[in-house]
Amino acid sequence: MKIIHFALAPLASLEVQKRYIINSARGEYILPHELLNKAINVLFEQRGVTFLELDMLIELKEAIRACHIPEDLSNEELILNYEPWIKVRELSRKYLMEIGFDLQAWEKSEL
């Protein structure tokens, strides 16, 4: 799996977010800010790593920059109702599709 897939697949997957953020179990959870930080690390801070600079990637980067997670939101509210988070998820999914990544197959292997 490419580094971009590793960073964006969990961010693009509502099913992963439902399982590991909303309905997480002890020892099996993901923190929302960790998903964003992983994407920031890969998309903005990696040196010498290039990605297909499609318009969708530029839009995704802007959405990630604009997505600040409010402390007073529950995980469920964040994942299901917080518009900046939903936009990042949708743009991540669209970008992965655009570069040929099969998110559904990845979800089947991860879930």
Predicted pLDDT of residue 68: 95
Average pLDDT rounded to a whole number, residues 56-81: 95
Return the DSSP state at 73.
S
pTM score of the predicted model: 0.91
Residue 50 pLDDT exceeds 90? no
Predicted pLDDT of residue 7: 93
CB neighbours of 62 closer than 8 A, spacing ≥ 6? Answer: none
CA neighbor of 109 nearest in space, from 101, 84, 38: 101
Report how far residue 106's alpha carbon sits from residue 101's, in angstroms, rounded to the nearest whole number.
Answer: 9
Predicted pLDDT of residue 48: 64
